[in-house]
Structure 1
Amino acid sequence: MRARQLLPWAVAVLVLAGLAWWALDRQASSGAAAAGEALPGFAARIETLERIEVRGAGDTALVTLVRGDGRWEILERAGWPANEREISRALYRLGQARRVEAKTDNPALHARLGVEDISSPDAKGAELRFTGGGEPMALVVGSNHPMLGGSYARLAGDPQAWLLDEDLAPARDPANWLDRRLADLPLARIQRVRVSPAAGRAFSLVRKDDGFALDGAKRASDVATATAGTPEQLALDDFAADDGTPAAAQTAVFESVDGVSLTVASWQDERGLWARLSVALDREAALAWFAKAEEAAEPPEQRLAALEAQLAEWRADFSGRRFLLPPHKAANLLRSIDEYREAP
């Protein structure tokens, strides 16, 4: 009688022991698998990649990067060069990323981690697709762990989700992938800025001592010097096709000592300050300036050829485009004459 009573308990113990062994075995297997690469074999293919896509909800193409002639370009921005350094960093992080912990393999629970199939119109994650150097590869990147950091992710087509040791969430706006360098006309080369406001009379900023001042002012001011330095390492936040919008804010012409004139015609909308750029060169002024150089410098004609080549590149970049300028540069172009009069 007592043996019959103990039998169910013995069976239960055996079942629980079996379940415990199964769980430990599965945990050990998962732990071993978790030690692998986030995207197996990816690191070895970085240099042979030809195309990178970021796709979002509804399998929508958000960013498309293609490599040709030794550089990355952005299809959604008419082939404008991409930021090579940032792409290299992103690819390196992905190549080094490792699996930390196995998560759900139940597709019904994927949305909780943001790794659901991106064909869903409500998908929260993004899919990274890579082409070149072998078979196409794809990784669905979801949310980040709220405390540990690192992204939840899974290989496209594989239901097993993982927590990774890197934040791999890709930028979804093509503007964030742009090579933001637009032009560079150093402050040391500027000799005058001619400003034509949309309303009111035109005025000029001229070199005074170690800075710039409103023409006629007794001393240089920080605000005038900052405005004169606008084209130094001038960057863009975004660009679009030039739709012919009239410049309603003001036009500034930056004149350099070597004959370059950079014209920035600007206007505002809800996104910020847009500008249309053009450049011209006074060849005689350039040659005269180069002739003043020390004997060790390159011949004036050679320096002129290099300058003309640089300006030709700028013209190609400026042609048919309008540029969204960073706020700190935009502020310089929106100042009124009164701000220069009142500046200390």
Structure 2
Amino acid sequence: MNAKKLYVLIAVAVIALIAAWYIHSSNAPQTGVSARAAPVLPELHGHINDVNAITLTGADNKVLATLKRGADGWTLAEKSGYPADLAKIREFLIKLDQATLTEAKTSNPQLYAELGVDEVKDAKATGVRVTLGGLAKPLAILIGNYNGAGGGGTFVRREGEAQSWLADGNLTVAKNTADWEQRTLADIPSTRLRTVTLTNPDGKTLKIYKDAQGDANFKVADVPKGREAASEFVANELGSVLSGLNADDVFPAKDMAPPDKTWKDEYAAFDGLIVSITGWEQGGKDYAQFDARLDEAAANAQVDAEQAKAKADYEAAVAAANQKVAEEKSTTGAQAKANAQAASEVAKPLAVSDPAKDRSDRLAALTKEVANLNKTFSGWTFALPAYKFSDMTKSMDDMLKPLPQKKAEEKKSAVKPRK
């Protein structure tokens, strides 16, 4: 090959390389172009509280969640108007409001899928179209992939624009409809509970109890001969079901009714609150319905006990203050006067100064708690986490163990024969 032909081939190769580079760079996502920290959605800024609807749409134009704000707060249309998670909604809107554009990316539709900002009408789309209502005009944005491997941020594309962007923060959207439900059902600590009575589908009953409100552990009632509690805290899981109780999912009660045979749990508090649970298994999942009521006799008895304690504590505090004054008779002047003043100003609790109002306030608070619980419970069937359902369906056998031989013999010998 002569030198002239060699130069021609080299020139052709260089031109081909330049052309290939140009085509690639024109199609590739743009990087390094600063957005100068412009807001992702400037129309949202300062208007979060105006938003009254959020629609989340996923692949194949499937609506994932329709969230609406009404007189009773935010609800989820796909769950028959069940309350939505207000904290989750607010957190999401704040993130959108505060997010800024950090870097321009591709405007080539053929590359949108790489960032997750392709149109959701595509059955393979991975992003979520977010539409906000209640603003001056409807606002929509495509939320794409999280840029985990590239240092953080989320790829986005505003509706009507070809340009895609990298926005700061994690703006990814929960795609499971149930994730937008208000999951909290109840949070009643076991320290409030006096008894728990469980009746299994076959009618067998298990009861646990506390003798006093300050007891650390529940005891098992009606333990048969030759057996004892497996440990001092074995019943505490059953007693803690209502503490931090969240649902996995929710359904209208009319669409998910209990079968004939169910577990029945009744949780009775020292202060008169009673929560009843009907639980069952179906299709490999665990379901329950709840109801709350107030035992007024128990509530009044608890008020009596608490008022008596408040009175005793107050009288003890007054006596201690007076004793201090008596012991400091030698003190003269301003200090003695201050001590006497302090003794006369021992704070008198409402339970002592106005027992009737104190009782009324306590009972009103309990009545309101029952109403709030039933507002959550009434008309719904809840899917429960497996561990909670396991805790609320314990049996006597789960609680007990055989007595050690020596201990059993000691108990037997301790029984005196009848004359």
TM-score range, shorter chain: 0.7 to 0.9
Q: Report if the CA contact (8 A) 2:140-2:159 is conserved.
A: yes
| Equivalent in 77, 95, 104 of residue 97 of structure 2 | 95
Distance 1:29 1:234, change over 3 A: closer
Spell out the pairing of 1:237-248 with structure 2 (5 A cutoff). Answer: 237-242=248-253, 243-246=256-259, 248=261
| Equivalent in 208, 216, 219 of residue 213 of structure 1 | 219
| Equivalent in 377, 381, 388 of residue 322 of structure 1 | 381
Q: Which residue is 2:275 aligned to? A: 262
Equivalent residue of 1:223, what SS?
Answer: coil
State the distance in 2 between where 1:113 and 1:268 align. Answer: 42
Q: Which residue is 1:225 aligned to? A: 236
Give 1:291 shift: 2.0
State the distance in 1 between where 2:42 and 2:111 align. Answer: 24
Distance 1:309 1:146, change over 3 A: closer
Spell out the pairing of 1:1-344 with structure 2 (5 A cutoff). Answer: 31-33=33-35, 35-69=37-71, 71-148=73-150, 149-199=152-202, 201-207=204-210, 209-216=215-222, 221-242=232-253, 243-246=256-259, 248=261, 250-270=263-283, 272-294=285-307, 295=311, 296=349, 297=351, 298-342=357-401
- The number of residue pairs the alignment matches comes to 327
Q: Report if the CA contact (8 A) 2:143-2:155 is conserved.
A: yes
State the distance in 2 between where 1:28 and 1:227 align. Answer: 58
CA deviation map 1:312-342 (0-9, x unaligned): 2222322221111233322211322111113
Q: Report if the CA contact (8 A) 1:221-1:343 is conserved.
A: no
State the distance in 2 between where 1:288 and 1:46 align. Answer: 48
Q: What residue ranges of structure 1 are gaps of 5+ in the alignment? A: 1-8
Larger Rg: 2
Equivalent residue of 1:293, what SS?
Answer: helix
Give 1:213 shift: 2.1
Equivalent residue of 2:160, what SS?
Answer: coil
More deviation, 27-36/85-94: 27-36
- Which amino acid is the alignment partner of residue 81 of structure 2? G
State the distance in 2 between where 1:336 and 1:143 align. Answer: 47
Q: Which residue is 2:332 aligned to? A: none
State the distance in 2 between where 1:252 and 1:214 align. Answer: 15
State the distance in 1 between where 2:263 and 2:386 align. Answer: 16
Q: What residue ranges of structure 2 are gaps of 5+ in the alignment? A: 1-10, 312-348, 352-356, 404-419
TM-score scaled by length of structure 2? 0.70
Distance 1:271 1:104, change over 3 A: farther
- Which amino acid is the alignment partner of residue 240 of structure 2? G
